[in-house]
Structure 1
Amino acid sequence: MAPVVIVTGASRGIGLAIARTLLATHGAKVATLQRTLTPELKALAEQYPDRVLTVSGDVSKPEDNVRVVEQTVAKWGSLTGLILNAGTLDPMGKLSEVPLDALVPSLQTNLLSALYIVQPAIKYLRASATPQNPARVILVSSGASVGAYQAWGMYSLAKAGVNSLARTFAAEEKDGNVIFLSIRPGVVDTDMQGHIRKAGPGVMAPNEMAKFNQLHEGGMLLPPEQPGSVIAGCAIGLPAECSGEYVDWADERFAQWRHKA
């Protein structure tokens, strides 16, 4: 039976690369939840009309997460995995200066959205899982989850929480054959990097801003396909003994899934 995976934030960047890999390499059926149906995602849905379901919505709204889960199961009869990729760097600024009315929206998008979708999905994940082929939930984290950048405080806080969620879910779901992983995708050539270069000066520390500019100018940003292929592979074949870990996308245990240019 083909895997059935929901991917959030699949309209561009890493999420789009994940969806493409799931479809082309793993024969999966893919549902997406995104605010914007980009031309790239629309084209992917047209290329795989029987294996893509696009649902417009906002991960920060619990009802939209319920909707994508229910529509996915109604269409394909099961759910074997989640890849929680949606996120935002905003609000950027020192924690002592971040507008208070931006705190809850930031946490809803970057952290609470994981709970918003896992809660309605968990019964279907358990139902599809076996000890030999568990269901898998992959949470896209960041190196900022274990470090600190000036002006990234809310993002770092949320991603540290994502790592904690993976550990806690793993502890709670040992009997349900659902496994969880938090994965750092590296510094990737996406819209978020463009946002850093545009909004970072003036709020980020100069040496930290210089680092990201140098990575861009030196052509050292990762193509989305590199971490995207590994994240997709983890959603299909992650071994149960990895459940609860926070890992780097380049972990040698996952080398089999790396994109080959």
Structure 2
Amino acid sequence: MHQPVILITGASRGIGAATALLAAERGCAVCVNYVRNRDAAEAVVNAIVVGGGKAIAVAADVAVESDVVKLFETVDTKLGTLTALVNNAGILETQMRLEQMDAARLQRIFATNVVGSFICAREAVKRMSTSLGGNGGAIVNLSSVASRLGGAGEYIDYASSKGAIDTMTIGLAKELADQGIRVNAVRPGVIYTDIHASGGEAGRVDRVKDAIPMRRGGRADEVAQAIMWLLSDQASYSTGSFLDVAGGR
């Protein structure tokens, strides 16, 4: 039996890195995609290799279509037949209200968070769809509970981009249900990762944790467990589903 091959976008840190490590632990060959931080991506790969696993780090900006095409071609060549995609790459920018936002910011957010996820899914479908000669597979999209809560006063653009991911998950799951591909999403709540610093508030989790029913922030590995369950055969009858990993929010 061939080794499962998983591509995780934005896997040099946070949830992506935790998922890469867990996937390798469970026997997958892993592509660790990153945009700029090569050292961080290589550190994830090295941790996997030291543990006896197989992994590669590949630079690609998911907002650039040609980068995405090359990313998937590299996986084909170096790891083999793709069996799973985790659309994890996502960005947010400095917290602000809508009246302060310009179109360039919105285009950056949507180019990475929405268009990037669509193009990555397209390339995965081309390789996995049984109607196109593939062997099937699974896609997990990283949404956010912000898609339900709205991100008011901080980043409604990010929240809206995740709303688009929710809709894409539902539609693509139906489109691919008879082609051997399951499509699901995980919606994390506030998780201890570096993304909050991108929003200008590195300590955001600790500020808001008392408003969470469980009274704590989540860990990246807790989200990774949910992602890997949805990718596994244990979730074989689940598609178009959402797993909220948000402490009750």
1:100-153 Cα offsets, whole Å, 9 max, x none, are 222211101111111111112212112443xxxx41100011001011222311
Q: What amino acid maps onto 2:149 in structure 1?
A: G
Q: Find the counterpart in structure 1 of residue 91 from structure 2.
A: 88
Moved more, 190-199 or 91-100: 190-199
Q: Find the counterpart in structure 1 of residue 10 from structure 2.
A: 9
Consecutive unaligned residues in structure 2, runs of 5 or more: none
SS in 1 for 2:100: coil
Moved more, 184-193 or 79-88: 184-193
Q: Find the counterpart in structure 2 of residue 61 from structure 1.
A: 64
SS in 1 for 2:57: strand
Task: Tell me: CA distance 1:57–1:239, structure 2 relative to 1, closer, same or farther (3 Å).
Answer: same
1:215 and 2:216 aligned:
no
Q: Find the counterpart in structure 2 of residue 157 from structure 1.
A: 160
Q: Find the counterpart in structure 1 of residue 101 from structure 2.
A: 98
SS in 2 for 1:15: helix
Q: Find the counterpart in structure 1 of residue 225 from structure 2.
A: 229
* Partners of 1:79 and 1:128 within 8 A in 2: no
Q: Find the counterpart in structure 1 of residue 76 from structure 2.
A: 73
Moved more, 62-71 or 35-44: 35-44
Q: Find the counterpart in structure 1 of residue 44 from structure 2.
A: 44
- Deviation of residue 41 (structure 1)? 3.0
Task: Tell me: CA distance 1:98–1:238, structure 2 relative to 1, closer, same or farther (3 Å).
Answer: farther
SS in 1 for 2:90: coil
Q: Find the counterpart in structure 2 of residue 117 from structure 1.
A: 120
SS in 1 for 2:201: helix
Task: Tell me: CA distance 1:144–1:70, structure 2 relative to 1, closer, same or farther (3 Å).
Answer: same
SS in 2 for 1:136: strand
SS in 1 for 2:177: coil
Task: Tell me: CA distance 1:13–1:199, structure 2 relative to 1, closer, same or farther (3 Å).
Answer: closer
**Cα distance between partner residues in 2 of 1:56 and 1:177:** 29
- Deviation of residue 214 (structure 1)? 4.4
* Partners of 1:83 and 1:140 within 8 A in 2: yes
* Partners of 1:186 and 1:222 within 8 A in 2: yes
Q: Find the counterpart in structure 2 of residue 140 from structure 1.
A: 142
Consecutive unaligned residues in structure 1, runs of 5 or more: 201-208, 252-261
SS in 2 for 1:242: coil
**Cα distance between partner residues in 2 of 1:91 and 1:238:** 39
**Cα distance between partner residues in 2 of 1:112 and 1:238:** 30
Task: Tell me: CA distance 1:196–1:91, structure 2 relative to 1, closer, same or farther (3 Å).
Answer: closer
**Cα distance between partner residues in 2 of 1:52 and 1:225:** 18
Q: What amino acid maps onto 1:43 in structure 2?
A: A
Mapping of residues 18-33 of structure 1, within 5 Å: 18-24=19-25, 26-33=26-33
* Partners of 2:5 and 2:80 within 8 A in 1: no
Question: Which of 177, 184, 188 is the matching residue for 2:187?
Answer: 184
Q: Find the counterpart in structure 2 of residue 203 from structure 1.
A: none
- Deviation of residue 53 (structure 1)? 1.4
Aligned residue pairs, count: 236
TM-score computed with the length of structure 1 as normaliser = 0.81
- Deviation of residue 32 (structure 1)? 2.1
**Cα distance between partner residues in 1 of 2:94 and 2:197:** 15
- Deviation of residue 231 (structure 1)? 1.1
Q: What amino acid maps onto 1:109 in structure 2?
A: T
- Deviation of residue 236 (structure 1)? 2.9
**Cα distance between partner residues in 2 of 1:198 and 1:227:** 21
**Cα distance between partner residues in 1 of 2:138 and 2:242:** 14
Q: What amino acid maps onto 1:61 in structure 2?
A: V
**Cα distance between partner residues in 2 of 1:23 and 1:72:** 15
